[in-house]
Structure 1
Amino acid sequence: MNTYWKKAVCLAVSLTLAVSGLAGCGGGEKKSEEKGRDKETAMGRYLETEMPLPEGTERILALGKLEDGSLELFGESGEGGKRVLWQSKDQGVSWEEISCPDIMKLENSEYLDRAVISPKGDLAALGVANGEEKYALFYGGAGESGQKVPVELPEAEGGNENGISDMKFAPDGRMLIRDYAGNVHTIDPSSGQILQTYKGSGEKIWMFEVLDDKLLAVTETQVQLLDLESGDPLDKDEVLEEQIFNGEGSKDNSSAGFNFMVFLQGKEENTLFLCGRDGIYRHIAGGTVIEQVVNGELTSLGNPSLELLQMITLEDGSFMVSCAIGIDYQLLKYTYSPDTPAMPEKELKVYSLEDNSDIRQAISVYQKEHTDVYVNLEVGITGEDGATVPDALRTLNTDIMAGEGPDLLFLDGMPITSYIEKGLLADISDIAAEAGGADGLFEKVANAFAKDGKTYGIPLGFRIPLFQGDEETAKAVGNLSSLAERVKSLREDNPEIESILSPADAWGLLETLYRLDCADWQKEDGTLKEETVTEFLRQVKAIYDTGIPREEDTSNSGIFDFGAGGTGGFLSMRIDYMSLLMKKALASVGWMGSVSEYSSVISAQKDLEGGVYKNIEKDGKNVFLPYLTAGVSSKSEDKELAADFLKALLQEEIQSSITGAFPVNKKGFEGTLKNPYGEEGGAELAVSGEGSDDMFTMSLLWPDEEQLEELRQMLEAADTPSLTDETIWNVVKEQGEKYLEGSQELEEAVNNIMQKVNLYLAE
C-alpha cells in the first residue's frame, strides 16, 4: 500500500502536466436549468445499478470485452496488493479467476498505473518493474508469461526525457501508445518496434482513442479524426469537438490512471458513445447532432468525486462503466427501462449561495437511491452575471416571499439568525433527533442554530481553529491582545525571520482571525458591537506590522495540496506547517477540517523542535466554523421531500464522503479514519528552504489511536459557531485591508464598517 501511494503521487504530477491544457478549454460551469414537466410524461430512461466486483478486489486496473462477448477485469486486492485477472461469462453478474501473465504480478512489477485488455484477451499495463524507477510498458498475451516491452521513443522537445503516458488496443488487436511529447504511435507489443506515428495537425495530442478504423485525437485546441491506416486527417466533426471541450467531463481530472472522458465504438457503422460527467452520449461521426442517452445529473456520473476508467457495452445493449468514487472502485451498469419516466416526477429545489462539490456529490448519491426525484440545484453566485452576495440574497428573498423559492437551503454565507427571526426556516428538531439517535452527532455543533427548543439549521460539517508553534505563543493565542504582545516580543528577539505568525498577508491574517473572533460581535438586535470591532482591528494591525514587507512570491515553492475539494476559500486558512518547517515563520494559526489535514500537522510536528499544536480556545469558547448548514424553508410546498433529503444528508454514507470539513455525524467521521498511507508512512515530500542546501523530506504519517482520540476530544469541545454572514465579512475585509496596509486610519475603518453593515441589516 505504501509503495502504491508513493508511485501514484509521482505519476499524478506528470499527468497533471499532460491534461492541464484541456482543463482551460471547457466552457463555463453549466447551471442547472429549470426542468419543465410535460403534461404527458415522456417514458424511458437508463437506470443505474452497481455491479459486484470480483471477490477481494479493491482497485480496478482494466475492464474489457472479448470477441466472444465475455468480460475480463484486471484488478488488485486489498490483501497485499495481489493482482488477479478475472473473467465473467454472465455479463458481470459473477466472476472467476483466470491465468494472469506473470509479468503483471506483484513480484515482477512493483506498481501498475493503468492497464488495457484487448478483444483477444491480451493485457498491457504501464508501471514500474521491481527495483527500477522509470515507468515501462508491460505486455502479456493470453496464456503467456509476458514481458517488459522496450520501446525506443523519439527524443522529446527541448531534449527532455520521453516516455509512455497511455496505451490502447485497436479493435483488430494492434497496440497504440501516446508519449510524453504528445505523439501517438502504433507499436509491435512483442518487440516494442514503432510501426507508425500519428502527428495529426502537429499539436501535442493530450488524449486519444481508437474507434473502428479511426484514431480520435484530442489536442489542446481541437478534436481530430485520423485514418488509422494512413494517418491522414478526416473531415472535422464540430459537434463532437463542442461536446468534448465544453462538456462537464472535460474538467477537473488529472489523477493517475483515470480519464476525463471515455469513448466506445457503437455496433452501427460510424457510431460512437462518449461518457463524461454530463452522462453518456451517442453520436454518428460527422453528424449534426449528439444525443444524451444517460443523464449524468440523475446518476453517479454527475458525482464530482467520480473518476472514469473505461466503458464497454454488454450483449443486451446496456453500458458498463468502471470508475472510482472517492477511494472506492465501482462497476456501474446502465440499463434501459422503458417504463420509467424520462425525467423524475418529483422535483426538489435546493439553493446554495456558491457552488460546492460536496453538495453535488450528496445530490448524486441521493438521486441514485431515489430515481423518482430530481434535485434541482440553484447557485446564487455563478460568476457569470457579476452578482454580489447582497444581490443574490435579494433575489432569493423575493422568490421565497413569492412562494417560488427553494425547498431546502444551504445557509453558508447567509444571515441565518435573521432568517430564523423572520420565520423563514422550518423546525427540523425531529430530523436532528433521528440522526443523533441512529449514528450520534457532535451535539453542540448540531444544535448551533437551535432557539427556544427548536432547531432551524444543521451544519453537515465543521472546521476548528488550530495553532502550531512554540509553547509560549500557544498560551497566548486564545486572546488577541495577548497574542499581539507575544508576537511583538518574538519579533524583537528574531529580527531576521520573514514572519513571526503565519498567515502574514493582510487578507489571510484578517480572515483567519476574524472567523475566530467574530462569534461574539453581534448584539441581540443583530448590529455589531463597535468597541469589539475596534479592538479586533487594532490587535490584528499590531500583529500584521510585525511582518517584514516583501515582494509577492509566485513560485508556489513548498505548497502541496492534498485532498482539496468542496472547501472554497478554507484552503487558504489551513495551518501553514510548510512555513514553519522552512523557518519562514515561528508560529501559525489556521482552520482544520479533515483527518488528512491533521495528519499533515502531526507529520510536521516531529520535525519542529520544541513545537506544539493545540485547538484554540477563544476567551473560553471553542469556536467552530459551520460548513454546509442545511435548513428547510418554511414556505416550501414539499417539506416532506425536503426533510427526506436532509435526513439523507445526515446519514453515514454521505457524511463519510464530505471533503470540506469534519462530518457532524460521528459514524461518518469514523468512516474518514482509514489509513491511506500504510504503516511506513505516505509520500515523502521534498521541502526546500532559502539556500540550495537547505532541503529536507517529510513523510506523511497517519494519526495513531492516541492522536485520533485527541482529535475526537477537540471536535467534541466545539460549542460556538463563527458568524457566517458573508456580507458582513466582505465589509470587514474591504475596510480592514485598507487599515492594515495604511491607506486609512482605524477610526475611519470602523466607522465605514458600522455604517455599511447597519445599512445592510436594515434592508
Structure 2
Amino acid sequence: MKYKGFHRMICILLSAALVFTSLAGCEKKGTSESPSGAGGDDSGGRAMGRYMEEELSLPAEFSSIYDMKKLEDGSIRIAGCSEDRESVWETKDVGISWEKVYDFPEELQDDVRDTAVSSGGRVACVYDEGADADMKEIFYLMEPDGAFGRIPFELPQAEELYVNLVRQILFVGNDRLLICDDQGIFYLVNVADGSVVRTFEFGNSENMYVAFAMGKMLLFQSISEVLLYDSETGEQQSPGEAMQNGLTESGMIRAADTLDAGESIYYVTEQGMYHYRFGGSVVEQLIDGELNSLGSFSVDVGSLLMLEERNLLAAKSDGNEEAGSKAGILKFAYSEDTPAKPDKELKVYSLYEDNSIRQAVGGFQKEHADVYVHYEAALSGEDGMTVSDALKTLTTEIMAGKGPDVLVLDGMPIETYAEKGILRDLSSVIEENKEEYFEDVRNAYRNKEELCAVPTRFLIPMVQAGSAYYVPGEDFDTFTKRVGALENMEPEEVISRFWYSSSAAWKKEDKTLDESKVQEFFEGLKRAYGDSPEGAEEKEDSALPGTDIMQGDFRLLAGTWKISAGLFGANPDYKFLLAVTEHLDGGDFGCMPGQAEHVFVPSVTVGISSKGSQPEAAEQFVKYLFSGEMQKISQGSGLPVQKEAFRSTIDGHQYEGNTSWVDLEEGIRFELAPRTEEEIQRLMGLAESLKTPALQDEVIKEAVLEQGEKVLGGETDPKEAAAAVAQKVNLYLAE
C-alpha cells in the first residue's frame, strides 16, 4: 500500500476545514488577481491580468507526487510513484524534458508512509516496519545521487496509543526534518544524527495542526488558529491579524512556499492562491480558485513551488479514479493581456450543492478561458431558507431577466417550469450519438417535440432481501402484504425510500395530486411496517441517514432489517451488492416495488433558462456534462447516462491484475475483481428497462414525508394523511 503522509493529514482535517470555512462564509477578499505592482486596464476600462493555467507533461503516469522542490541550480526535483515504482525525477527546463534521477531502493518500494524533498535535492521518507502493535516507523535519507541510509531517530511510544505513527514530515532547509506524530507533537530533527533540536506541542492531539516551512519560518495551522515560529531560535512570532482573518475566510492551507526566505508566504486554499507579508495589513488574492483547477472539488494540491512571482507550479492529485492520471503538475503563468475576469459570466443554479456540478464548473472553465462560471447553491441549511422560499425567489429573478442561465433542476417543478416557458428546448443540444446513451433516461422530460430538461445521471430504486420478503418483479401490493417486512426502520426512512418508486403515479391529467393513490401508498407501507410499538427512532441500531441501498445492506446483514431498500448509484459498488446477495437465503435484488413501474431517479437534471443572457455558453456547458470526460467522473450524484461510462463504473476494471478479498465484521467476504460479463449485462439490462422518471418536487416530497411519518407512528390514519397532503400540495400546484 502506498501512503502519502501530507495527504493523510489533509484528509483528516478536510471535514473540519469545510465546517470551519462554511462558518466563516468564504467571502472573497476585495483584491485583483495580479502580482503586486502588476496589472492594469485596457482602453475599455476592464481590469487586465490573470494567471493562466496549463498542465505540465510528465514522463510517466503518476499515481502520486509526494513532494516537489526547486534546487539551487534552478532545476526542479519531484518524488512520487509512477508505474508502481517509487522514484525521483528532475527537470531543468520546467517540464519540457524529464530525467529519472533514481528509483527508491527495493526495500523501500512498499509501505512508504510519507516522503519529503529538500531544496538541496535530498529525499527523506518514513517506512512502516512490522505490523499491528509491533509496527515501527523507520526514517531514511536519500542523498541527491541516490545513496541512502537510515536517520537514527525513533518516535517515542505513547501509552495511550496502540501504535504511534507519523502524520507529516517536511524538510526545514536541507539538514533538518520536521516530524509530526499521532499525538500532534512536532519534532525538529537533525537528519545527520537523529538528534532533536526542539519540539513543538500545542495542547491535546484532537486539535490537530498541519505545518508548512518557508525558509527558516514554520507555520502551524489548526481549524482555529495560525501560529508562526522561527525554526532557528524556536521563538514564536506574530503572523499578523490580517492572515488569521484571511484564513478564516479562505479556509485551510493546502500548500505553501516563499520567495524571500520566509518574510512572506504564498499559499493555496480551496478558494485560490494568496500572498501575505508577515505583519502586514493586507492578504492579497493572486488567483481566484473559481477560475481554474485550484477550486475544483476533487483536486488536492500537495505542493506549491514558486518559480518567481509571476510563475508557479502546483503538484496536484485528483480524487476521481476515472480522471486519467491521478497526479500531475499545474503551471500558472501571469498574462498581462488577459482580462482579470472573463468577458462572459455563465450563471449556474441548483437548490443544493452538487459536487459533480462543482467539478464540471472547474473543468469547463479550464477549457473556456473567456467564460466565468458562477455557481450558486440556494440552500445552505444555515439561513433558514426553505425550498419553497428558494423557488419563489428564483422564479421572481428569472421573470425579471436576472436569473441563472443553467438550472440544475433536481427538486424543482420541471413540468411547471416547462409550461410557463421558462425552459428552452434542448433537442438540438443533445441530439448527437443517441445510441451511446440510455435514451429513455435522457428523454425523461420530453414533451411532444420539445425536450425541456435532461438528466445527466440517474439512480435506480432497488430492494434487496431473502426470498421470504422479496421476489424481483413483484408489484407494490404483493410486496407490502408481508406484514412487518419493514419493521425496525425509521418512519422517515421508509417513506423517503418508497417515495421514489411510487410518486410518479400520483399526478392526475389535470396536474392535481391523486389523493386515492397517496392513501394507497400510506396503507401499503403501514401494513408492511407493522405496529413497531417500541418506536424505531429510539433503537440504537436505527437507520443510517440517507437513502443509499448500501447503508441498508449493513442493517440487512446484521439482522436488524428484513429488507434493504434504497437507491443504487450514489456509491455504485456493484461487487458489494452481489456479495450481499450471496449471503441471503434465496436472496436477490431488483427494482423497488412501487405504484409506478420501471422507475429511475433523474439526477443532476439540467435545463437552460429561456431568459438567460448567455444561451451559447449555456449550451456548451450542458454538452460538456455529457462528454466522456465528465460522464466517467463520479462524485456521488448517480450513474452515468452514457453507456460506456456506465459500464466503466460497474465493471471493476480497476481491479484487473490486482484481485484481492475484503472481509467485513458481518461475516461477508467479497472479491475486488473485474465483474463477469454476465454480471455486467444484468445491470446494463436493468438500466435499459427503466422508463419512468420519479417525481422530482421537494415541496410535494416534504408534505408526504411529514404525513407519512405520522401514519407509521400511529398518530393519524392513511385517509386523513392523504387528505392533508392533497390539500397542501394542490394549493401549491395552483400557484
- The alignment's TM-score, normalised by the length of structure 2, stands at 0.90
Distance 2:430 2:153 in 1: 60
| 2:519 corresponds to | 534
Q: How does 1:436-451 map to 2 (within 5 A)?
A: 436=434, 440-451=436-447
| 1:176 corresponds to | 178
CA displacement, residues 406-427 of structure 1 (integer Å, 9 cap, x when unaligned): 1111111111111111111111
Q: How does 1:508-547 map to 2 (within 5 A)?
A: 508-545=493-530, 547=532
TM-aligned CA deviation for residue 222 of structure 1:
1.3
Please say if residues 137 and 155 of structure 2, whose CA atoms lie closer than 8 Å, have aligned partners that are also in contact. no
| 1:737 corresponds to | 709
TM-aligned CA deviation for residue 148 of structure 1:
4.9
TM-aligned CA deviation for residue 12 of structure 1:
8.7
Distance 1:582 1:112 in 2: 36
| 1:45 corresponds to | 50
Counterpart among 625, 644, 654 of residue 667 in structure 1: 644
Provide closer, same or farther for how the CA distance between residues 680 and 619 of structure 1 changes in structure 2, counting only shifts above 3 A: farther
Counterpart among 242, 253, 256 of residue 239 in structure 1: 242
Amino acid at match of 2:101: I
Provide closer, same or farther for how the CA distance between residues 126 and 609 of structure 1 changes in structure 2, counting only shifts above 3 A: farther
Q: CA RMSD in A?
A: 3.1
| 2:695 corresponds to | 723
Distance 2:554 2:622 in 1: 38
Distance 1:398 1:35 in 2: 29
Distance 1:617 1:558 in 2: 20
| 1:416 corresponds to | 414
Distance 2:248 2:51 in 1: 25
Provide closer, same or farther for how the CA distance between residues 60 and 17 of structure 1 changes in structure 2, counting only shifts above 3 A: closer
Distance 2:560 2:535 in 1: 12
Q: How does 1:199-348 map to 2 (within 5 A)?
A: 199=201, 205-248=208-251, 250=252, 261-267=254-260, 270-314=263-307, 317-325=310-318, 326-327=320-321, 328-348=326-346
Distance 1:666 1:323 in 2: 30
1:189 aligns with 2:191: yes
Distance 1:595 1:378 in 2: 25
TM-aligned CA deviation for residue 726 of structure 1:
0.6
Amino acid at match of 1:444: D
Amino acid at match of 2:682: E
TM-aligned CA deviation for residue 646 of structure 1:
0.9
Moved more, 157-166 or 211-220: 157-166
- The alignment's TM-score, normalised by the length of structure 1, stands at 0.87
Moved more, 600-609 or 130-139: 130-139
CA displacement, residues 526-549 of structure 1 (integer Å, 9 cap, x when unaligned): 211111000000111122226573
| 1:564 corresponds to | none
Equivalenced residues, count: 715
Distance 1:349 1:31 in 2: 19
| 2:623 corresponds to | 647
Please say if residues 477 and 483 of structure 1, whose CA atoms lie closer than 8 Å, have aligned partners that are also in contact. no
TM-aligned CA deviation for residue 398 of structure 1:
0.8
| 2:145 corresponds to | 143
Distance 1:238 1:120 in 2: 33
| 1:454 corresponds to | 450
Provide closer, same or farther for how the CA distance between residues 72 and 191 of structure 1 changes in structure 2, counting only shifts above 3 A: same
| 2:534 corresponds to | 549
Q: How does 1:330-729 map to 2 (within 5 A)?
A: 330-434=328-432, 436=434, 440-475=436-471, 478-486=474-482, 488=483, 500-501=485-486, 504-545=489-530, 547=532, 549=534, 552=537, 571-572=547-548, 574=550, 576-593=552-569, 596-616=572-592, 618=594, 621-659=597-635, 660-672=637-649, 673=651, 675-677=653-655, 679=657, 681=659, 684-687=662-665, 700-729=672-701
CA displacement, residues 143-178 of structure 1 (integer Å, 9 cap, x when unaligned): 244245453334437455322211000124311111
TM-aligned CA deviation for residue 351 of structure 1:
1.4
Distance 2:543 2:65 in 1: 32
Unaligned runs of 5+ residues in structure 1 are: 251-259, 492-499, 560-568, 689-694
Please say if residues 502 and 509 of structure 1, whose CA atoms lie closer than 8 Å, have aligned partners that are also in contact. no
| 1:110 corresponds to | 110
Provide closer, same or farther for how the CA distance between residues 557 and 100 of structure 1 changes in structure 2, counting only shifts above 3 A: farther
TM-aligned CA deviation for residue 572 of structure 1:
4.6
TM-aligned CA deviation for residue 393 of structure 1:
0.7
TM-aligned CA deviation for residue 571 of structure 1:
4.9
Distance 2:461 2:517 in 1: 20
Distance 1:653 1:696 in 2: 34
Secondary structure in 2 aligned to 1:756? helix
1:163 aligns with 2:165: yes
Provide closer, same or farther for how the CA distance between residues 730 and 42 of structure 1 changes in structure 2, counting only shifts above 3 A: same
Provide closer, same or farther for how the CA distance between residues 574 and 511 of structure 1 changes in structure 2, counting only shifts above 3 A: farther
Provide closer, same or farther for how the CA distance between residues 35 and 676 of structure 1 changes in structure 2, counting only shifts above 3 A: farther
Secondary structure in 2 aligned to 1:430? coil
CA displacement, residues 540-575 of structure 1 (integer Å, 9 cap, x when unaligned): 11222265736757978998xxxxxxxxx8555545
Distance 1:272 1:555 in 2: 49
CA displacement, residues 500-549 of structure 1 (integer Å, 9 cap, x when unaligned): 44881111110100111111110122211111000000111122226573
Provide closer, same or farther for how the CA distance between residues 76 and 129 of structure 1 changes in structure 2, counting only shifts above 3 A: farther
Distance 2:536 2:719 in 1: 29
TM-aligned CA deviation for residue 345 of structure 1:
0.6
TM-aligned CA deviation for residue 179 of structure 1:
1.0
Please say if residues 652 and 672 of structure 2, whose CA atoms lie closer than 8 Å, have aligned partners that are also in contact. no
Amino acid at match of 1:26: T
Please say if residues 460 and 630 of structure 1, whose CA atoms lie closer than 8 Å, have aligned partners that are also in contact. yes
Provide closer, same or farther for how the CA distance between residues 224 and 280 of structure 1 changes in structure 2, counting only shifts above 3 A: same
1:25 aligns with 2:2: no
TM-aligned CA deviation for residue 18 of structure 1:
6.1
TM-aligned CA deviation for residue 703 of structure 1:
2.8
Unaligned runs of 5+ residues in structure 2 are: 33-40
Counterpart among 89, 93, 96 of residue 93 in structure 1: 96
Identity %: 31
Provide closer, same or farther for how the CA distance between residues 220 and 150 of structure 1 changes in structure 2, counting only shifts above 3 A: farther
TM-aligned CA deviation for residue 308 of structure 1:
1.9
| 1:749 corresponds to | 721
Moved more, 155-164 or 118-127: 155-164
Distance 1:354 1:218 in 2: 30
Secondary structure in 2 aligned to 1:221? coil
Distance 1:502 1:678 in 2: 41
Counterpart among 53, 68, 84 of residue 73 in structure 2: 68
Please say if residues 466 and 614 of structure 1, whose CA atoms lie closer than 8 Å, have aligned partners that are also in contact. yes
Provide closer, same or farther for how the CA distance between residues 461 and 570 of structure 1 changes in structure 2, counting only shifts above 3 A: farther
Please say if residues 109 and 129 of structure 1, whose CA atoms lie closer than 8 Å, have aligned partners that are also in contact. no
TM-aligned CA deviation for residue 20 of structure 1:
5.8
Provide closer, same or farther for how the CA distance between residues 316 and 401 of structure 1 changes in structure 2, counting only shifts above 3 A: closer
Secondary structure in 1 aligned to 2:341? coil
Distance 2:533 2:588 in 1: 24
| 1:565 corresponds to | none
Distance 1:697 1:709 in 2: 23
TM-aligned CA deviation for residue 483 of structure 1:
1.2
